[in-house]
């Protein structure tokens, strides 16, 4: 079985916040700080089939949320630390849609790098 992943991000001044993304050949096992946002990020891999809300709960257990992405630089950073995982595995991020698109950490969706239906 291939693993699936989710990415957490953490702000050390408060509590952790989860995030995720793609890159090549580097997947952090510890938190990696992105100075521009002040957040720290970590990829968590698990068995296939982990539901979205279970991935979010895993982040919440470490004081984090699933990743929210608010600009191209952050998107590139998240892609970088996720390595080739994004091409090989499903990777959860914190974007959800009920009536409108929202991040699970409560922040506004102010950046998108995908086609909205």
Distance CA(85)–CA(89), nearest Å, equals 5
Q: For residues 26 and 47, is the Cβ–Cβ distance under 8 A? A: no
Tokens of 29: 């096992």
Tokens of 56: 């979010």
The domain segmentation of the chain, as residue ranges, is 4-103
Question: Could you read off the pLDDT tens digit of each residue along the chain, which spans 117 residues?
Answer: 345 566 666 543 333 335 544 443 444 567 888 888 888 888 877 767 788 888 888 888 888 888 999 999 998 888 888 776 666 666 788 988 888 888 998 888 999 887 655
pTM of the model: 0.73
CA-to-CA separations, 79 to 24, 76, 99, in angstroms, rounded: 8, 5, 27
Q: What angle do CA 24, 91, 111 make, to 5 degrees?
A: 85
């Amino acid at each position: 079985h291939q693993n699936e992943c989710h990415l957490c991000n953490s702000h050390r001044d408060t509590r952790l916040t989860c995030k995720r993304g793609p890159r090549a050949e580097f997947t952090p096992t510890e938190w990696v700080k992105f100075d521009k946002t002040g957040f720290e990020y970590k990829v968590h891999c698990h068995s296939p089939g982990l539901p979205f809300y279970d991935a979010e709960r895993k982040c919440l257990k470490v004081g984090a949320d699933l990743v929210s992405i608010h600009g191209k630089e952050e998107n590139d950073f998240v892609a970088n630390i996720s390595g080739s995982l994004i091409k090989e595995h499903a990777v959860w991020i914190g974007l959800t849609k009920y009536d409108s698109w929202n991040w699970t950490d409560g922040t506004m969706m102010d950046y998108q790098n995908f086609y909205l239906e």
